[in-house]
Structure 1
Amino acid sequence: MVKVDRRVARTQEAIKKAFLELMSEKNFNNISIQDISDRANINRATVYLHYLDKFDLLDKIMEEHIYNMGNLCNPDGDWIEETMHCMEYFERNYLFFSTMLASEGAPYFRNRFVQLNIEGFKKEVDVTKGKNLGQSADVVAEFVANAFVGVVEWWIKNGMPYSTQEMAEKVGELLERNLSH
């Protein structure tokens, strides 16, 4: 893994934070590189040093979160514990998720989020026995992934009315009920 200079990392974080704040305030199409640089307190050339344009910036932010969730939210049998890791990640990155999901800032991200979960849940579905006997693994994975993403959206849109622990317990139990043998 390539070690990133701390100043570069700080600058990129400032750019990403400024961009997400702006996306939570106004439409993506109305955000300029100048707006981002002003908010991040850097010059425009610095933004272009790190990103091709605002589309590249958005893509990189989304890919970073998809990658992190893929590594963090992998079920290994303990649904509540794994769901806890995910809920804590959503809470730590509230600005991103509230912008991408609650404000419908990027429908593309929601689709990627669902796909990530479909791929993960598909590995856990057993249609040869138990409550999913005779079901289609694809249908079960689609159902559970869309339900999971929908619940996360609801939680974020409503200002996280339950703690991460409560959500992990509630959602983890539902996942276990629908995916366990």
Structure 2
Amino acid sequence: MSQVGKITRTEQKIMAAFWQLYSRKKIEKITVREIIELAACNRSTFYAHFSDMYDLLEKFEEQLLPDMAQPAVQKIIAKDDLSLSVEHRMALYQKYKVYYQLLLGPNGDPAFREKLTEFLDQMIKAHLGQKDGQTDFEIDFLVETTASLLLSALNFYFKRTDRPQATEIIGLLSSVLNQGVAQQLGWHISCKKYIKEN
């Protein structure tokens, strides 16, 4: 599971025990005693690696986040169009499905969504050059909107019981990104200016 830095075998055992509990109940209901019993270690060992339960969650989530320095991520960034192969997306989905499904869901950690959004922001920005007349605000808006759309689509996919194959949702998402929501819905959206008279 390690993506950011290396974790010890003891940390892996503690994280695995934590996940068993976290997948069944909220973090505030989990005790250190439950974790050390499942991990077969003592309290001092737990605190040698983690300051508290929230530090454990933070470090657990770090292992699930892609690293901008990873060769696989750099390969994606090196492409001209930011298009990921279906195989790559499927691999990520299969690898992290059980974790993302919970962490991005209603009983998950809102901070994890922010972390993933920040990663996607960085990856998208790595492809962008500022166009003439485009402000920093406009660029940030487009990047944040795109990253949010990607995560919303992922979350939507996870929570549906009637979900199609991952390749189908990827195709639908690609169409929305390439052609826009309005075109997919058959809408024509216009922006009217209203001048308020003093």
TM-score by length of 1: 0.73
Q: One-letter code of the match for 1:22? A: L
**Counterparts of 1:156 and 1:23 in 2: how far apart (Å)?**
18
SS in structure 2 of the partner of residue 145 of structure 1: helix
Q: One-letter code of the match for 1:157? A: K
Does 1:36 pair with 2:35? yes
Deviation at 1:60, TM superposition (A): 0.9
Deviation at 1:94, TM superposition (A): 2.4
Deviation at 1:28, TM superposition (A): 0.9
Q: Does the 8 Å contact 1:66/1:113 carry over to 2?
A: yes
Q: Deviations over 1:130-175 (max 9, x none)?
A: xxx9682111111101000111111222258233433444434544
Q: Does the 8 Å contact 1:18/1:36 carry over to 2?
A: yes
Give the corresponding residue for 1:79.
Answer: 83
Q: Does the 8 Å contact 2:14/2:35 carry over to 1?
A: yes
Q: Does the 8 Å contact 1:51/1:57 carry over to 2?
A: yes
Q: Deviations over 1:18-62 (max 9, x none)?
A: 212212211111111111122334333332232222122111112
Q: Does the 8 Å contact 2:50/2:56 carry over to 1?
A: yes
**Counterparts of 1:125 and 1:78 in 2: how far apart (Å)?**
10
Root-mean-square deviation over aligned CA pairs: 3.2
Q: One-letter code of the match for 1:56? A: D
2:124 equivalent among 121, 125, 128: 121
Q: Does the 8 Å contact 1:70/1:116 carry over to 2?
A: no
1:90 equivalent among 80, 83, 93: 93
Question: Aligned pair in 2 of structure 1 residues 126, 22: CA closer, same or farther (>3 Å)?
Answer: same
Q: One-letter code of the match for 2:127? A: E
Corresponding residue pairs, total:
169
SS in structure 2 of the partner of residue 12 of structure 1: helix
Note the 1:99-138 alignment, pairs <5 A.
Answer: 99-125=102-128, 128=131, 136-138=138-140
Q: Does the 8 Å contact 1:62/1:109 carry over to 2?
A: yes
Identity of aligned residues (%): 21
Richer in helix (by share) = 1
TM-score by length of 2: 0.68
Which has the bigger relative contact order, CA under 8 A and spacing at least 6? 1
SS in structure 1 of the partner of residue 63 of structure 2: helix
Q: Does the 8 Å contact 2:17/2:35 carry over to 1?
A: yes
Query: Any stretches of 5+ residues in structure 2 without a counterpart?
Result: 181-198
**Counterparts of 2:17 and 2:106 in 1: how far apart (Å)?**
16
**Counterparts of 1:86 and 1:27 in 2: how far apart (Å)?**
29
